[in-house]
Amino acid sequence: MELETQHFRGGRAGFLLGLAEITCVSQSFPKLALIWSDGGRWRMSKWAMAATWPFGKLAVEAGIKLLDSGRSGIDAIEQGISLVEVDPNVDSVGVGGIPNLTGEVELDAAFMRGVDLAVGAVASVKGFPNPIRIARLILEKTPHHILVGEGAERFADSQGLKRAPLLTGSSLEAWEKRRGEQGGLAEGYVARGHDTIGVVALDQSGGITAGTSTSGMALKLPGRVGDSPLVGSGFYADDTAGAAVATGCGELIMRGCLSYGVVELMRAGASPQEACADSLMRLIRRLENTVAVRDAHEDLTKMAVVAIDRDGNVGAAANHGDFDFAYSHSSDPVVHMVRAPKVS
């Protein structure tokens, strides 16, 4: 898949940073024909799905089988993310996630259903390998949007979800190495690593869904909550516009409600690619002279976002050059891995 460097302006009036040009690596996604009607409105794909990072390929491969059979986006995302959560080789999600500062694995996860803007999320959960399933149960069985810590764990117990160890030999080894590099548990530590699994999906009914799951920053302070379970920051979904999921430094992503910004640009007429690049660049420009960015370790300035619109078109952008994501759609039901355009 050929990549080329381009300069482009923000397409439509009102999207971008005035007349500022953006330099990025541009990826041309396949053009799809209008082939599918969900009851009065024609769209480009009868289903589509995209996920963050190379490990997102596993989620997309599993999820599209359900989408193709007519299952909902929420079913597809739960199935896909659940597989990533129990993969011990993924060190930033679920089992095998690198622990917090005191050696415990704490997990965050979220769902958003675009048809009614319903949300279910958990934060700082210990001992449950599939927090995405807890998030779905919160969405479907409670009047609440987010449960945290022991309250979320008691709810999971009440729903019959099984506990399991989250710490693995390799994650413990990684924790000990990072702790040693910073000289123990003294103040002044640097929490690093933040590769959230985020998935967006369009199903055959036209439903749009977003889901996220993460163990958060390595060596984070106990109880720290990042962007991943926070609506508008780590995720957003609306059937009338599209969905987006973010990954990277949550403390920066939260400052700009990155995912919500992307969806609102798509609502205004931007393509997913334009919306991702424009919203991310706007946040970069706003934060570039702040202490949070100027004096931070490079790992704590990285951000990326993936989006899907109501026609099944996909876009992505990152402020660094090593963000790959997975996507597939019904017109070409193969899972593609793509290097996201870098905005700078």
When the pLDDT of each residue in the chain is averaged and rounded to a whole number, the result is 86
Confidence (pLDDT) at 281: 96
| CATH, residue 234 | 3.60.20.30
pLDDT at 182: 63
Domain membership of residue 342 (yes or no) is no
**What are the Cα distances from residue 108, in Å, to 88, 122, 211?**
17, 5, 11
Q: Which pTM does this prediction carry?
A: 0.87
Low-confidence winner among 33-47, 172-186, 234-248, 284-298 (lowest mean pLDDT): 33-47
Per-residue pLDDT of 60-80, as tens digits, reads: 999 999 999 999 999 999 999
Residue 200 belongs to a domain: yes
Query: Is 257 inside any structural domain?
Result: yes
Query: 196, 209, 212, 247: which is the annotated catalytic residue?
Result: 196
Residue 178 lies in a domain: yes
Q: Is residue 104 part of a domain?
A: yes
- Give the three-state DSSP class for 321: coil
Q: How many folded domains does the chain comprise?
A: 1
Backbone phi, then psi, for 109, in 5-degree steps?
-160, 160
Beta strands 197-202; 48-52: pairing state:
antiparallel
Contacts of 160 (CB under 8 A, 6+ apart): none
Lowest mean per-residue pLDDT among 56-60, 136-140, 298-302: 298-302
Q: Could you tell me what percent of the chain has a pLDDT over 70?
A: 82
Mean pLDDT of 135-161: 98
The yes-or-no answer on residue 301 being catalytic is no
Range of the structural domain that residue 80 is part of: 39-182+189-330
Comparing 289 with 70, which gets the higher pLDDT? 70
Q: Is the pLDDT of residue 310 over 60?
A: yes
Question: Helix 56-68 and helix 73-85: axis angle, to 10°?
Answer: 150
Please give the share of the chain, as a percent, with pLDDT higher than 90.
73
